[in-house]
Structure 1
Amino acid sequence: MDDAFAADMLRGHTETIVLSVLSRGDSYGFEIFKTIRDATGGAYEIKEATLYASYRRLLKDGLVEAYWGDETQGGRRKYYRITDAGRAVYHANVRTWTVTRGIIDSLLDLGGRPS
């Protein structure tokens, strides 16, 4: 598979991916980046600039809330927490993706008939 094509397909789902990470618990920016990278075994990384733009959109849309952590060592971190509205959007996006994936799988398989 062409990596550029795969990344292009995934890019449209950045907010849903971030909401997925946050649905498991509050997290800060770089930790979200690492969680996504590690979940794919390093095969996919969302650029930090793309992630931070997503955080801003999610905040503006009321899908996440942000707060400052109280770290005793190092710099303070901005944490993100999914809201009830964010959970609703996440679940709706997963349902939409599941239906879409099923349609694409059917179209690619074409009933298992040889081409």
Structure 2
Amino acid sequence: MNDDAFSADLLRGHTDTIVLGMLRTGDRYGFEIYKAIRDATGGDHEIKEATLYATYRRLEKDGLAESYWGDETQGGRRKYYRITDAGRAVYRRNVAAWIATRRVIDTLLDAKD
């Protein structure tokens, strides 16, 4: 298994939390979230657009995000997403769970035989 496959595999289960995290600071349109994720990792990681759009639909269905159409003053009409209060609560819970999991994994990886 190469490093890229492993890191992508590890991140795959956290896509919803990553997107919610991107929305915490303000509303964003779909492709803007894609670029923000790519840029935040210095280009080392990208989440496929198809995966992101499936995530947006799931977050909306679950009441964690809402969407609306922006105006056309900056080019084409864009669909924007915003985090809901429920989404903020889920984000906080998921981050706390990640921190606890990371702590356990770090401990286990540092274990001596």
Question: TM class, shorter-chain normalised?
Answer: over 0.9
RMSD, matched Cα: 1.1
The CA distance in 1 between the partners of 2:13 and 2:48, in whole Å, is 13
Moved more, 4-13 or 66-75: 66-75
The CA distance in 2 between the partners of 1:58 and 1:25, in whole Å, is 16
Aligned to 1:6: 7
The CA distance in 2 between the partners of 1:2 and 1:50, in whole Å, is 20
The normalised TM-score by structure 2 is 0.96
The normalised TM-score by structure 1 is 0.94
The CA distance in 2 between the partners of 1:96 and 1:72, in whole Å, is 41
Matches within 5 A, 1:1-115: 2-110=3-111, 113=112
The CA distance in 1 between the partners of 2:74 and 2:65, in whole Å, is 25
Unaligned runs of 5+ in 1: none
SS in 2 for 1:7: helix
Q: How many residues align structurally?
A: 112
Amino acid of the structure 2 residue aligned with 1:71: E
The CA distance in 2 between the partners of 1:108 and 1:72, in whole Å, is 52
SS in 2 for 1:42: coil
Amino acid of the structure 1 residue aligned with 2:32: E
Deviation above 4 Å: which 4+ runs of structure 1?
none
The CA distance in 2 between the partners of 1:93 and 1:71, in whole Å, is 35
Moved more, 64-73 or 21-30: 64-73
Amino acid of the structure 1 residue aligned with 2:54: A
Amino acid of the structure 2 residue aligned with 1:14: T
Amino acid of the structure 1 residue aligned with 2:5: A
